[in-house]
Amino acid sequence: MRFINKIHQIWKDHDLRRNILFVLGLLAIFRLAAQVPVPGVDAQALKDFFASNQFLGLLNLFSGGGMENFSIVALGIGPYITASIILQLLTMIIPALEEISKDGESGRRRINQYTRILTVPLAYLQGFGVIKLLNQSAQSVIKDLSFFNFFATLTVLAAGTMFLMWLGELITEKKVGNGISLIILAGIVTGIPSSVARTLMVFNTSQFINLLTFLVIALVTIAGVVVITEAQRNIPISYAKRVRGIRMYGGMDTHLPLRVNQAGMIPIIFAIAIIMFPPLIARLFLNANSSFIARSSQFVIDLFQNQVFYGIIYFVFVFGFTYFYTAVIFHPQQIADNLQKQGGFVPGIRPGSQTADYLGKVSNRIMLAGAVSLGLVAILPLIIQAITNVTTMTISGASLLIVVSVVLETVRQIDSQLVMRDYEGL
């Protein structure tokens, strides 16, 4: 009933309804572009190569489903995400960029402009790698790779990335969700019907228990991901009373929220990129003249196809990168200094270095739960396959985390829009 009332409120608000319809229209344009293939692509060879290469699954995820057709938006917004991560890390390292990021709205615009500029060479670089990767198959996916066609294909792929980046920014401006995230979400959601269809094609009564078990595990996992995504530890903060003239300021109590999963899905991205790199390189040397190199390449490929080894190393990498990335983005000393400047303090803890140590200790404790849960979400498809033997409806941990995070963020933004409009009406 509450859900229906919320939909009714959204539909009654003319501006919000128009914004949502506008966003849906842009997502429809994206899905249409994802169906337009690059000229000269062998569709059957592409399908066969996708079936034999796990690495392309991640690329297809961040392309919003455009990679499996090698469409004009095959690269998706992957280069833009990479550029954003690089700029975020450089901001922590280069003092000049750090000063720009602290310069309010103008600084944020400059960082965004640098990200757009960096996206262009990264799109060309990633496009070059993808084309070379696709032509490592037994049957070349792209038939004519003359210099002109190669450069034209690269330019089309880079232009597709910039087009999606533009669509994402248009969506974000409507304040009903993050545009980049919604584009990725659209690609994930559109793949669900085909998974359901494949499951129904091979379904029989003997698999009913396995399918029911799969659905129960999926629902419990989604609930768990929601809990972990929303979970936070509230650090109590008090502000001392200050008298300026005849006015008194401060004297209030609040809290500093520390999320259990501060790193989001970035550790999963890093882990997959590293894990898929060795077998990808090994495939390039399978036909080497040296028998030792050829055997070593085959050994590496077989090792990473072992589900137990793959699951263990995947979990370890996600666990480690969670701590690494949280250490990059979370700065207890900076937070402690800002609290001290504003007259805030943690009750029972001295301001300054002791507050920073306390925040670091609390963050490391709750991060343990976040790292373990993120690692379990990452290897979730392997666990489900082992328990239920259902392989046609598996969804990657990264996809599940994206879906939950994007849905929660979009709902929050729509709720804030409704509250703002109610307040303006009053």
Q: What is the pLDDT of residues 165-209, one digit of tens each?
A: 999 889 888 888 788 878 878 877 777 766 666 666 665 666 677
196, part of any domain: no
Number of domains forming the structure of the chain: 2
Contact (CB, 8 A) for 64 and 186: yes
Shared domain check, 294 and 183? no
Fill in the DSSP letter of residue 370: H
CA dihedral (79, 80, 82, 88) in degrees, to 10, reads 160
Shared domain check, 220 and 122? no
The distance in angstroms from the start CA to the end CA of the chain is 25
The pLDDT of residue 236 is: 86
Shared domain check, 228 and 172? no
77, part of any domain: yes
Identify the band that residue 328 occupies on the pLDDT scale cut at 50, 70 and 90: confident
365, part of any domain: yes
Please tell me which residue, 265 or 31, carries the higher pLDDT value.
Answer: 31
Domain that holds residue 248: 201-426
* CA dihedral for 171, 173, 176, 180, sign (positive or negative): positive
CA distance 179 to 172: 5
Shared domain check, 176 and 307? no
CA distance 67 to 133: 12
Tell me which range, 94-98, 157-161, 189-193, 249-253, is most confidently predicted by mean pLDDT: 157-161
Q: Given 156, 190, 224, which residue is the final one in a domain?
A: 190
Between the alpha carbon of residue 54 and those of residues 49, 58, 158, 281, 390, the distances in Å are 10, 8, 23, 13, 18
Q: What is the mean pLDDT of the chain?
A: 78
Q: Is the pLDDT of residue 27 over 50?
A: yes
The pLDDT of residue 426 is: 45
Fill in the DSSP letter of residue 344: E
Identify the band that residue 389 occupies on the pLDDT scale cut at 50, 70 and 90: low
Q: Is the pLDDT of residue 150 over 70?
A: yes
* CA dihedral for 56, 60, 63, 67, sign (positive or negative): positive
Burial class (CB in 10 A: 0-12, 13-18, 19+), 169: middle
5, part of any domain: no
Q: Is the pLDDT of residue 415 over 60?
A: yes
Is 248 in a helix, a strand, or coil? strand
The pLDDT of residue 276 is: 72
pLDDT digits (tens, 9 = 90+) for 176-185: 878 887 887 8
Q: How many Cα atoms occupy the beta-carbon half-sphere of 401 within 13 Å?
A: 25
Shared domain check, 237 and 168? no
Q: Given 190, 214, 232, which residue is the final one in a domain?
A: 190
1, part of any domain: no
Please tell me which residue, 107 or 141, carries the higher pLDDT value.
Answer: 107
CA distance 16 to 98: 36
**Predicted TM-score (pTM) of this structure:** 0.74
The pLDDT of residue 162 is: 92
Shared domain check, 389 and 362? yes
3, part of any domain: no
Q: What is the DSSP string of 121-178?
A: HHHHHHHHHHHHHHTTSSS-SBS---HHHHHHHHHHHHHHHHHHHHHHHHHHHTTSS-
Q: Given 142, 160, 190, which residue is the final one in a domain?
A: 190
Shared domain check, 241 and 165? no
Q: Residue 56 belongs to a domain with what CATH number?
A: 1.10.3370.10
CA distance 376 to 307: 14
